[in-house]
Amino acid sequence: MAEKIKVPEPATSFEYELFEGDPDHLRTVVATPTQISPCIEAAELKLKHRIGRGIFGDVWLATHHQSADDFDEYHEVAVKILHPLKEDLTQTFVYKFEKLFLKCREILGVGWLHGVSVMNGQICIAMKFYEGSVADRIALLKGGKLPLPDILRYGIDLAYGIQELHSIGLLVLNLKPSNFLLNEHDQAVLGDFGISYLLLGIPLLNSEMTLRLGTPNYMAPEQWEPDVRGPMSFETDSWGFGCSMVEMLTGVQPWFGKSIEEIYQSVVIKKEKPQIPSGLPPAVENVIKGCFEYDLRNRPLMEDIISAFQSSQHAVNSDGGWVGLENRAPAEKSSFGGYSAWYLSKDHLQVGDTVRSRKPLNACKPQNMDVPKGTVVGLDSDTDRNGFVLVKIAGMHNPLRVQKSTLERVTSGFAVGDWVRLKEKHSKHSPVGILHSVQRDGDVAVGFVGLETLWMGSCSELQMAKAFCVGQFVRLKADVVTPRFEWPRKRGGWATGRISQVFPNGCLDVGFPGRLVFGDESNSFLADPAEVELVSFDTCPGVVEKYQHIEDFHWAVRPLAIALGLFTSMKLTISVGRTVSTKLRKGRRSGDGHHQDGQAGGNAAWLPSPVANILFKEGVPTTTVR
């Protein structure tokens, strides 16, 4: 384990001979003992001067001295000194880093890692020093725009690196041109291998870092509040990648000039997207557009990005223009029921799969059930996402030829998008969530409120749960005392609201049309799906409850009902008054002379005749009827 020493003063006269070899090529060389261990003795690092400052800490230019009996090498390195963590958590981070170190070294698209050290209690990550970054290149160019062929080339290098990091279970979460470093062959490598991700779950001392694990201009909507609007997944990096590409294409940072709060409002609340410049090859434009889908499941994965960029590379001239129409955009033509082509292409049907008709995204019920349950018995030879499969349905002689995109695979009774409940309760996160993937061997990934990333487990741990969808009315269950999220009250109980949005982890965004709010007060609240129940006319037991439910539809219902009630009673009073005065006049005209005892007779006359009749019949003295 790395020894803790004081941060040395930046070296002013430090003599060394730099090792001139290309560390990229060292990947094939037998590693020396110090290379195998990620831990660097603090004394082996000599800090020279600070070259940058990021949200996670400072970056210093330094030298890494490695020596053994048969070698003595000095490497120029960039050392990222993270802000201090609590002591035991420092070791947690180092342990996480150790597990990934060798894997990261094998990834060509990631900057060459020298190792980790702990100096003065602060984590120091040493990486090969690169001469510049894509951000530096943008800054040097007039107008800032990089040539399209370079963007495609860098994009492919980077997407491969990100894809490999994903394959070892890491998310980068901090993709941006200043983290795209350029090596001596003008290839782009990632300067950040997922520090934000390694810091997940580690409480941070620095409040700035606690608020956002990423750089606001490049952060996906779910990244701002991953345990609420999440989960973060591979596609979270697709958003950051898209933002970086837009910056490389335009020379302008996405949301340039906006404050953090304004970016939050634009990206998370108003669902705005960075502007993509026109004139791009359609496949590139389409895939970048896909990176900015609000629902992360609708975004492309790195493999989709690589394929779109590679297909366009052939069509792009060295001057940045492009030819050919074969780069036709695939998304529009194969999107279905709210699913993008990228969503639909994440699962490939195989012969033997059980399938059923796909319901629209975030819908409770299927629109049609052409295939309630069937088995794939044949696949179209073409790999087009719009292709067809042959499905055998019980009771039908011939298999049906069905479009792939209208079907979903069902494994052990579960399909992607299903609402599921954990059989065993978990105190930290909601037990109810949405299924993001189900493998044929039963492995599943589920988004739950309260978790920043996907929950991984087996489908044997899950059972089906009731689905919620936009437009339904919900209320907190009566037995919920302290809800996960704040919730408005009405007449001493929980108010009822209407679902306006369902996040990919099942979190419900609920509006309250029945609540009149003033000024800046919010009328939208979040809900844990495990804590709410449906409210509909069927579930309202009596007339009063049914009327109260009508009030939930619009705040104007109650005042209107009151006004109508007042109006009706006024009309009734007037009409009763008229009847009475008419009768009185008739009585006077009859001149029976019983003016003195007219009280009793008068009493009867004041009442509408049916009521008076009843009272007389019941033998109630009329004097009591006042």
**Which residues are near ligand ATP by CB under 6 A?**
51-52, 54-56, 59, 78, 80, 111, 127, 129-130, 133, 174, 178-179, 181, 191-192, 215
CA-closest candidate to residue 181, choices 322, 80, 307: 80
CA-closest candidate to residue 503, choices 210, 220, 304: 220
Whether the CB-CB separation of 525 and 510 falls below 8 Å is answered with: yes
Measured from the CB of residue 50, what is the shortest distance to ligand ATP in angstroms?
9
Nearer to ligand ATP by C-beta: 179 or 453? 179
Q: Which backbone phi and psi does 129 adopt, to 5 degrees?
A: -80, 125
- Residue with smallest beta-carbon separation from ligand ATP: 54
What would you report as the CA-atom Rg of the chain, rounded to the nearest whole angstrom? Answer: 35
Q: Which long-range contacts (CB under 8 A, 24 or more apart) does 548-554 make?
A: 549/473, 549/496, 551/514, 552/473, 552/495, 552/496, 552/497, 552/498, 552/512, 552/513, 552/514, 553/513, 553/514, 554/513, 554/514
Measured from the CB of residue 311, what is the shortest distance to ligand ATP in angstroms?
30
CA distances (Å), 27 to each of 32, 113, 133, 412, in order? 11, 11, 22, 43
Whether the CB-CB separation of 445 and 454 falls below 8 Å is answered with: yes
Nearer to ligand ATP by C-beta: 194 or 506? 194
Query: Cα(225)–Cα(60) distance, rounded to whole angstroms?
Result: 31
Nearer to ligand ATP by C-beta: 163 or 244? 244
Our measurement of the distance from residue 453's CA atom to the centroid of its chain's CA atoms, rounded to an integer in Å, reads 10
Measured from the CB of residue 196, what is the shortest distance to ligand ATP in angstroms?
8
* Phi-psi label, residue 26: left if phi above 0, alpha if psi -120 to 50, beta otherwise: alpha
Nearer to ligand ATP by C-beta: 174 or 311? 174
CA-closest candidate to residue 159, choices 309, 302, 304: 302
Nearer to ligand ATP by C-beta: 137 or 475? 137
Q: What is the DSSP string of 31-66?
A: PPHHHHS-B--GGGEEEEEEEEE-SSEEEEEEEEEE
Whether the CB-CB separation of 248 and 144 falls below 8 Å is answered with: no
Scan for tokens 């230019």, then name that residue: 61
> By three-state DSSP, how is residue 182 classified?
strand
Q: Percentage helix, strand, coil, to 5, in the chain?
A: 35, 20, 45
Nearer to ligand ATP by C-beta: 127 or 198? 127
Measured from the CB of residue 301, what is the shortest distance to ligand ATP in angstroms?
23
Measured from the CB of residue 176, what is the shortest distance to ligand ATP in angstroms?
6
Measured from the CB of residue 161, what is the shortest distance to ligand ATP in angstroms?
14
Nearer to ligand ATP by C-beta: 59 or 607? 59
Query: Cα(240)–Cα(245) distance, rounded to whole angstroms?
Result: 9
Nearer to ligand ATP by C-beta: 113 or 287? 113
Measured from the CB of residue 61, what is the shortest distance to ligand ATP in angstroms?
8
Measured from the CB of residue 133, what is the shortest distance to ligand ATP in angstroms?
4
Measured from the CB of residue 142, what is the shortest distance to ligand ATP in angstroms?
20
Measured from the CB of residue 231, what is the shortest distance to ligand ATP in angstroms?
21
* Phi-psi label, residue 94: left if phi above 0, alpha if psi -120 to 50, beta otherwise: alpha
Pairing mode, if any, of strands 132-133 and 180-182? antiparallel
Nearer to ligand ATP by C-beta: 55 or 604? 55
Nearer to ligand ATP by C-beta: 185 or 397? 185
CA-closest candidate to residue 110, choices 46, 179, 41: 179
Q: Is 80 annotated as a binding residue?
A: yes
Annotated binding site for ATP: 80
Annotated binding site: 80
